[in-house]
Structure 1
Amino acid sequence: MKKRKLTDNLSLKIMSVAIAIVVWLIVVNIDNPVGTNYYTITDVELINKEYVESSDTIGKMCMPEENQDSVKVAITASKKVRDRIRLSDITAVADLQQAVSLDTDPVMVPITVTCLASGVLPSDIKVTPQNLTVNLDEKETQEFVVNVSKGDTKPGKDYEVGSLTASPEKIRITGPKTLVNKIDKVNATIALDGNTEDYTQEVNLTIYDKNQEALSESEMNSLRIENNAKVVVTAKLWKIRTGVKIAAGYVGTPAGGYQVGSVKTVPDTISVAGNTEGLESLSENDNMITIPADRIDISGESKDVERKISLKNLLPDNVKLTSDSSEDVWVTVSILPVGSQEFNLPTKNIEVKNKPDNLQVTFETAQIALRIKSESEDLEDLNINEDVKAEIDLKDKEAGNYKVPVKLSLPDGYEMVEDVYTEVVISPASVSDESK
């Protein structure tokens, strides 16, 4: 048998190897194709900012140009490599020391993107745009008061925030002059979660511009804020006390032939909050807030005197009105003819004459005031519920709201000081489903 040599059919063998390699490459490429993934990076870090600030010839500060919030990153690699890439693997930095020139306006700073995923080479990465646009501006330093609040949070039941304080109470901010001059206020918000004891929390500052919009992340990063933009906020929590009475006096004398009937306040009780010392002081005063008499002068008056009085400066130290309370109270001093007295007649005692058919009548108030005088009888002997008869006439009235006169019948020896009216609502009677 003739022995074959290795060189026999050499060209055919070489072709077979080449075809095998090509087939292998095709198979590999089909299973692990090269492609491009695209990513959006919203936090390009500007580094070596001190290079511009410390420069003897520049001496300015910088911040990224507005409306440049993100960059697009394209990574070209095999499928297996691309499958390993996570957004957190990708970082983008702009190094001010790599800027071609600091004399341009704005300054163009090259962006360098790196990817920690294995198998990704620097040449595989493309970034758009390739430069971060940076503005240079004069350095400015200003101090701002820290405004403190609790936001939408609140303490526990029966407690109010007595005071909120920040430490430090003011903060120093350094940055590009244009940006610093945009600042309107610096806020620190403590989060209360049903707390019933004094509470302290370290919080981040929120800075607002003059349009009341919070500074963006890039703007915040362009500022150098004292204490790393943190303050400690303390909330002093005070106990709520309800049913605190209001008393009011007056000075002066009414006109001749008139007398003071009563002194009433609206509201007649309020809710307050205070610390231990403040509430103890209030208890010593019988849980009463007294409006000084000189706030209401009735000298020479022949009709009721009404005054709106602020309670803000009338509370004891370490006591305040609760957040849902108005600081104003209305005081009414009724002025009556001598020998007369004011009585309250329940509106349920008023007889309704000529009530409209198929309509219902309701009174707007639970009672009306009657001013009655007598020259021969003792007013204390008058029983308003039994001795006084009252009626109203709704003849020809249709559905609507009315102020109607009240006709009164009094015992002999008594008479009305003035006419009396009451407010009524006439409306269709409701019909239940069962009666339809």
Structure 2
Amino acid sequence: MKNKLKKMLSTNIALKVVSLFLAFLLWLVVSNSQNAIQTKSVKVDINYTNEEALQDAGYIVTSRQTSIVITVEVRKNDYYKVTADNFVATADLSKHMGEDLSSQLVKVQVETTGEEENVIKNWNYPKDGPWITVKMDELQTKEMEVELVQTGAVDNSYVLNKEGLTMEPQTVTVSGPKSEFGSLTAVKAQVDLAQFSPENTEMTLPLALYDANNNVIESENLILDPSQVVVRAGVKQLKEVGITFEGVSGEPGAGYGYSQISCDTTTIALAGLKASLAEISSITIPKDALDITGATQTIERDIDITSYLPDGVEVYSNNVITVEIVIEKLETKTYQVPESQINWIGKLDQYGYHIASGEVSVELRAFEEDLDGLDVSQIQLNADVSGLGVGTHTVVFIVNVSDAFSVVEQPTARLQVTLSKDSNSSVSSSEISSEKEEVDDTENITNSTSSSESSSNQEQESSKQEDLDETKSQESSSQDNSSRETVSDDENTSSK
């Protein structure tokens, strides 16, 4: 068996070698046909260098080619392994400074990164660099103020500080080609006030360039530095409260009074922290702020209410209010107050108290309108009768009436004190005698003046009285005695 195999391998050796070579060629042809070399286009971005040096020289690129296309030969199986990352395209702008820069051909250097280089069979781009066109212009720089455009409004329950919005920075630098500055008129930032609240008081806003027609300028060559601003707003709670007055101080001129206080506004808007505003329901203007001493006509006062506000609260609207104090002339009027409207202080049940005239005259001073509108039933009188016994007395009354009225003169009247018919109390003769003596003393004091005045007349008539008939004198004497006896009998009867 071994001899047969050895014989088969050793015979026709040349033929066998040729067959093996042909088989290899066949495999190679088939293999190449399935993994053939293909062409691929790769787009590579251009990296421009030394652009700062160009700007330092006073120029800027206005138009440039951003990429180049490289043709690459690669096997079919490696087609997707080759990308733009396998190449670097560089254009050095500094090599063309000093020449006519309005339009320049700039050389682009292309290199491979080394990655997947073994799969790249060939790439078609001039190794010494292609040339591309770059347009340039004079570089212009301008500092411009930022205009803040406000839109919307804060919520009705909030308010911005009086200082308004603050913006930082307020100016920016715009740089770019000189040819594009002709249409530039403004740099603006737009802020929506509705976005502000006590919790959100700061926003960062982008900037935009505008032309004279208020249209946004879309340009990649005009560069803003910085490109955005920070806007801050102090947001406080808003609350409307009423204005009240304690009254006035001082007294107006004689015969005048103030009828009312009016103000040019009834409410005022306050701004502050929520906790501070919660403690305020109204603003009260004290009396000292409204002095009417000696006034005889209507006066006006401008009041700054900031001094009446607590810390942390400010006036959102006008902080000065105008107050009008109406001064009018006072009139007088006399009212007849009936006895039924008198309160007897200290009265005793066994006595009856009656005004001789049945009513008391009360003179009041007030504005004419108030006097006309006052009904006599609205006047009450008080009189202290404690200690007054049977007889006639002069009493002084205290007048109770609305504060709108003043008493011209404290009223008085003659009071008759009598024993009450319905009284079951007994009064001793000594008490009645004492009370009569008090009444007699009062009447004697009252009559003393008239007695002294008539003394001279009595002296003149005395001579005539001496000439009277002696009999008449005796009769008169007997009549006096009988009269005294009658009075004594009456007293005894009353005592019993």
Give the shorter-chain TM-score range: 0.3 to 0.5
TM-score, scaled relative to structure 2: 0.38
Name the structure, 1 or 2, with higher relative contact order (CA <8 Å, separation 6+). 1
Q: Whose radius of gyration is greater, 1 or 2?
A: 2
Q: Which has the higher strand share?
A: 1
Q: Which has the higher helix share?
A: 2
TM-score, scaled relative to structure 1: 0.42
